[in-house]
Amino acid sequence: MGVSSCAPSQTIGVLVADSNRMEMQLLVSALRRHPEYRVFSCPMQVDAVLEHAESGELHVALLASPDVRENGIDMGIIRRLHLSHPEIAKVVLTDAEDQQAVTNAFRSGARGIFSFSESHFRTLCKCINCVHRGQTWANSTQLQYLLDMVTQVPALRVLGAGGRRLLTAREEQVVALVADGLSNREIAGELNLSEHTIKKYIFRIFDKLGLSNRVELVLYAMNNSGHRDAEWMAGVHPSQRV
């Protein structure tokens, strides 16, 4: 975990946004005992969060709500805040540990994820100082999720008239790897499939798109595709995909 006991060299503006008023007040009170923090608070609502961000006084935003902790992380507010104020380090306060929730949080702009169920308040202060310095805060499990994410196979979503998807998720992965210049053998290695299976996928893609060769496929993909986040086939672990 990226932690440090070094004290910050300047006052850090910290926003606590939480839909649970009592928990928010407890956290705000605890943080205000530390003179290195200038603490603000608001409900976990996009307008309230963005209003505080516009003040120019924030360096770190701690974002949480009861429904977030119970049902996974809602990325909407995090993403809005990141797009409008990328300079503010966002920390998600949540006990959610599933891979999708963690990777979505970081994709949406979070700099760290903090769980009170596994860490105490003193560690939260280290987390705040860490993300304020531009570092990332995550435990070993969350870091592994991020490593898994960056090694996943990308996909190109090939669209037809009206934005209709023309290919299956696996076929989109094959198109992305063809567009990257990989041979059938290399694609087979990436997807852990046989070279014969890759050939069948490519001929099926040609048939669906009305194409006859790889050059036409690459050109078609460049002109008729939208990038998707890297992902494995849904529900299939990388070591078990077929």
Burial tier of 129 (Cβ tally within 10 Å: 0-12, 13-18, 19+): buried
In a domain, 55, yes or no: yes
Q: State which residues form the domain around 121.
A: 12-149
Is the entire prediction scored with pTM above 0.85? no
| Residue 16 confidence (pLDDT) | 97
In a domain, 95, yes or no: yes
Whether residue 136 sits in one domain with residue 20: yes
What separation in angstroms does the CA of 213 have from each of 8, 177, 202, 204, 209? 59, 15, 9, 12, 11
Instruction: Give the tens place of pLDDT for each residue, 137-181.
Output: 999 888 888 887 666 666 667 666 666 778 888 898 898 888 888
| Residue 105 confidence (pLDDT) | 87
In a domain, 2, yes or no: no
Whether residue 28 sits in one domain with residue 109: yes
> Where does a domain end: 114, 149, 184?
149
Whether residue 231 sits in one domain with residue 135: no
In a domain, 5, yes or no: no
**DSSP state, 119?**
S
Whether residue 142 sits in one domain with residue 164: no
> Where does a domain end: 149, 165, 180?
149
The mean-pLDDT minimum among 50-59, 130-139, 140-149 falls in 140-149
In a domain, 7, yes or no: no
Instruction: Give the tens place of pLDDT for each residue, 88-112.
Output: 999 999 877 778 788 888 888 999 9
Whether residue 89 sits in one domain with residue 47: yes
Quick one: how far is CA 19 from the chain centroid?
Answer: 22
In a domain, 101, yes or no: yes
Q: What is the total count of domains within the chain? A: 2
> Where does a domain end: 149, 164, 185?
149
Whether residue 219 sits in one domain with residue 160: yes
In angstroms, rounded to a whole number, what is the distance separating the alpha carbons of residues 102 and 126?
20
Instruction: Give the tens place of pLDDT for each residue, 181-200.
Output: 889 998 998 888 999 999 99
